[in-house]
Amino acid sequence: MKQMTRVAAQDVETSTTEGPKQSTEAAIELGKEALRLGKRWRRQALPLTGIGATHAIGATASALSGPAALVPVAAGWAASAGAYGYVHQRASRWNRVYAGTAAVSSAGWQAALALDGSAGIAASLLWASGAALSIPWWVRHTEPEPDITAEKTSPAAHMALPAVTSGPDPRIERWDTYIGATGKALPGSNLKQVSELPFGWRGVVELNIGEHWHSIMKAQQTILSVYDLPDGRVFVEAIPGASVRTAQITVLTRDPLQAVVRWEKPQLDPATGTFPLMTTADGEMLHYRFWWPGGGATHGLVSGVNGSGKTKVLDLILTEAAASDRVYPLIVDGGEGASLPHWRDRVKLFAETPQDARKLLRYALRLMDRRRKVVKRQGGGSVEPSPDMPLIAIVMDEAHKLLMNDEDTGTDNGDVRRMCEKLAQEGRKYGIALVLATQVPSAKQLGGSTVLRDQLKGGTVVGLRVTERTSGNMISSGAPMPEGLHELPAVFPDGKPTRGLGYMLTERMMRARSLLIENPERQSITATRLDTDCASEAVPTMTGDSEDLFVDEQVSPREAESSSDDASEQLIEEAIEAGTHADPLSLMQATGLSLSQVRRALAKHGK
């Protein structure tokens, strides 16, 4: 009886201790979920937070009397001014105007609530007008931040390979019956050398003599149907060195690209000039290339519609560039500062207006002119990126807005195209890389420039999801693509967005997805310096006006006296003493200086 009593007492004690414990655990989980949702929807909640803070300040002031009521209002006004100052330094022009309007409105409503009270008509008008003012913000920020909590807490488990069964392979039997049989899609073809993959299987297809492996690509939809698979699960590739009537086929029974692969740290390899950018559907890492060792810089193109992940790809490229002591990034934001605002204070030059973009490009051309004599001194070849001679990477987001003529306003952007063409054609040798980002990968978006199209295709080309059927022409390398970029889905079967999904122009035309970089503005940067020759070039000011746009035009003697540099004058003097004729063209050829530098030096000496 006593034992039964003790057991009952223990049960009661256990139940009384487990109850609070379970409640505590539930509260912790609820708090974690609230933090997760708050982090994901923080941008959308920002206007409501501002309205609530305004209401609280006004209510506090109305509850006080005398001079004490001025304290919360003064603090609120200071906070509004500080918030605007923060945005003014880091945001685009549109956001600065919006933030200024919100700050002034908040200050006014704080005073109104202090006079009218927190429960009067002023409070109702505050929330109504605040909601109306929030509409433009909500329209621009309709999508929440990508939620990758699940991937962080429970990474994808390693899939064991299927067990090998005895007897005929059912996949080969199905191929022979529904694809290789007479009257089927690929009569006489054979599937062999089938091997397992963590997410599917791989094999070799052999066609009849006289046929080409491209015909397998045309039968892709049939193959998907035979193996009962959704779109985007079959990839056909040529086998290097093998007959054109054989090809490798990869069949995915599961899509590994649904899982997010996060960028962990900078991995730009100075020995190769590359860093990991995308992972293919079968697990291979694809690399972005900044330069070829001994071969100079390479250009790049990133394309994709809004929501495709294009900006995140640029963030990754810029983060790798900013973290390296061998890359000196410059940015042109064709979205007027709204595309890459978090990079404004992290690079030497950030152009967010068409006028500033022109100044930055002219500056890059002058740097290229200065490096001509570097190549000349080293006896030819190309610039090898190093801490003393870094690669100059010019990243242009929304480049189509600056390269295409604006028919609505009558703006001719031919000068921007010509400058970009010159940098693309000649920059490789002098360690200058051009990285353009457009909505679609077509020559039309490059202002119709076939020069830019051809030069960019020689570098790294990344094509993400687009909406136009004919816009994938710059991604194809000649072999047929498994699918058009317009056929890429906007969401995965689980409903998550396919940001970063696309193709890279390599010998492997297979679906891939870019690595996800979180908070690029928090990543460390390296204080890379230009080489001595380029560092002596005057840096333009990004003021949004047209000042200094035409520094390469005629220079008066007075202007020359104030802007000439000793190094250019010395080169000119040495060239003339060596017998070079004192005309600008001859001196440019002899010294490698630009026309403006030669004119300044000649004007200095009255020649």
Q: Per-block average pLDDT, block size 10, for the chain (607 residues)?
A: 51 54 70 68 76 83 79 85 73 70 83 76 80 75 55 48 66 95 95 93 96 92 94 90 94 91 95 96 93 94 92 96 96 91 94 94 95 88 93 96 84 90 94 94 87 90 84 60 86 90 86 93 92 92 67 39 56 76 71 71 70
Residues 234 and 267 in one domain: no
Pairing type for strands 391-397 and 432-438 reads parallel
Q: Are 570 and 539 in contact (CB under 8 A)?
A: no
Across the strands, what pairs with 386? 389
Q: Per the domain annotation, does 320 fall within a domain?
A: yes
pLDDT value of residue 543 = 83
Residues 426 and 394 in one domain: yes
Q: Are 250 and 237 in contact (CB under 8 A)?
A: yes
pLDDT value of residue 173 = 94
Please state the separation of Cα 341 from the chain's center in Å. 12
Residues 246 and 274 in one domain: no
Looking up residue 264, the CATH number of its domain turns out to be 3.40.50.300
Residues 240 and 387 in one domain: no
pLDDT value of residue 332 = 96
Residues at the binding site are 304-311
Q: Are 203 and 191 in contact (CB under 8 A)?
A: yes
Residues at the binding site for ATP are 304-311
Domain end call among 211, 233, 254: 254
Residues 269 and 243 in one domain: no
Residues 123 and 234 in one domain: no
Nearest to 68 by CA among 80, 60, 79, 77: 60
pLDDT value of residue 591 = 67
pLDDT value of residue 583 = 76
User: Which residues constitute the domain of residue 81?
Assistant: 42-140
pLDDT value of residue 72 = 82
Domain end call among 254, 288, 318: 254
Neighbours of 522 (CB within 10 A): 8
Residues 239 and 272 in one domain: no
pLDDT value of residue 10 = 53
pLDDT value of residue 559 = 38
pLDDT value of residue 55 = 79
pTM for the model stands at: 0.67
Residues 368 and 275 in one domain: yes
pLDDT value of residue 556 = 37
pLDDT value of residue 151 = 47
Nearest to 335 by CA among 101, 140, 467: 140
Percent of residues in the chain assigned helix, strand, coil, to nearest 5? 45, 15, 40
pLDDT value of residue 551 = 45
Count of domains forming the chain: 4
